Amino acid sequence: MSADPQCANLNKTPVFSETVVVNPNKTLKNVFVYIKDGLTQKYPTPAENVVVVFDQKNCTYSPHVFGLQVNQNLEIRNSDPTLHNVHAMPKINSQFNLGMPMKDMKMTKKFAKPEIGAKFKCDVHPWMNAYANVVEHPLFAVSDATGNFTIKDVPAGKYTVQAWHEKYGVMDASVTVEAGKDAKIDFDYKGDGASK
């Protein structure tokens, strides 16, 4: 944080890397979970005003891992009184690198193709990074501070669900959803990076 006096000001207490965040109940935060195979219906592109907000606040990206739909608007904000640049490095979609020098400025971007684990970084503040996950449908979630995730409104059927973590990789699981009932999946990640 010391590379930028503004960042140092905004962060008086130590800041930790968000690569691996283990919750107090020994579950993993920031795992992106989505339906990989099995969906038969198509979901329309969300309207222009249904945006996913991606903020630069206190010299960190928030959220650290997020999902959005293909061609959904990603609203990138800079809530810090310092300059950031948003350098997106997807492998399938087009890369971009935008300067955001002013506080409260906003920019909107879209991703045209599905892609998992597209990295965002700030070239001014090298510790800042985040991951975007672009999916064709809205059936995804990110595990929270209790290690839980919820995907709502899944039609009945048999699906492959994939979990993605930036360090511990991907895991697949099968699940059958019955109409009107909840289905439960657990993903077991091992700390030594076993599942890649």
Partner 1 sequence: MISYFRNQGLFLFSVFCALCTCFLVFAGAMVTSTQSSLAVPDWPLSYGQFFPPMVGGVFYEHGHRMVAGTVGILTLILVFVAAKHAKSQTVKKLTWLALFAVVIQALLGGITVLYLLPTSISVAHACLGQTFFCIMVAIAWIQTPLYLNIKHVDHVKLNKAVYVQFMLLLLVMIQLLLGAITRHLQAGLAIPDFPLSFGRLLPPMFNQQVLVHFLHRVWGFVIYAASWFIYFYWRKKDDKHFKLFSFLLLLLLNVQLFLGAFVVWSQKLHLITSFHVLTGALILALSVVMFLTVLKKAGLNQTSHIRSFWLLGKPRVTLMVCISALAGYLLHDVNSVFKMVVMLLATFLVSYSASAFNQLIEINEDALMERTKHRPLPRKMLEKNSVLLACALTFIIGVLLFYVQINSLSAWIAALSFFSYTLIYTPLKKKTYLSTFIGAFPGALPVLLGEVSNVGEVSFQGVLMFLLLFVWQFPHFFAIGLMYAKDYQTAGFKVLGINTLEYFKTTRSILIYTFLLLMISVLPSLFDFTNFYYLICSLMLGVLFMVMSFRLNLQNNFKHAKEVLLASIVYLPIMYVLFIVTLK
> Which residues would be at the binding site for partner 1 (CB under 8 A)?
3-7, 82-83, 85, 87, 95-99, 101, 122-126
Minimum CB distance to partner 1, residue 188 (Å): 32
- The DSSP bridge partners found for residue 53 are 75
Minimum CB distance to partner 1, residue 38 (Å): 36
Task: Name which of 85 and 195 has its Cβ closer to partner 1.
Answer: 85
Task: Name which of 102 and 156 has its Cβ closer to partner 1.
Answer: 102
Residue 60 CA to residue 130 CA, distance in Å, equals 9
Residue 114 CA to residue 100 CA, distance in Å, equals 26
Q: Which residue has the tokens 């070239």?
A: 123
Minimum CB distance to partner 1, residue 80 (Å): 11
Minimum CB distance to partner 1, residue 85 (Å): 5
The strand ranges marked E within the chain are 32-37, 52-57, 60-62, 65-69, 74-78, 84-89, 96-100, 106-109, 115-121, 129-135, 140-142, 157-165, 169-177
Helix (H) or strand (E) holding 7: helix 5-10
Task: Name which of 6 and 195 has its Cβ closer to partner 1.
Answer: 6
Task: Name which of 6 and 58 has its Cβ closer to partner 1.
Answer: 6
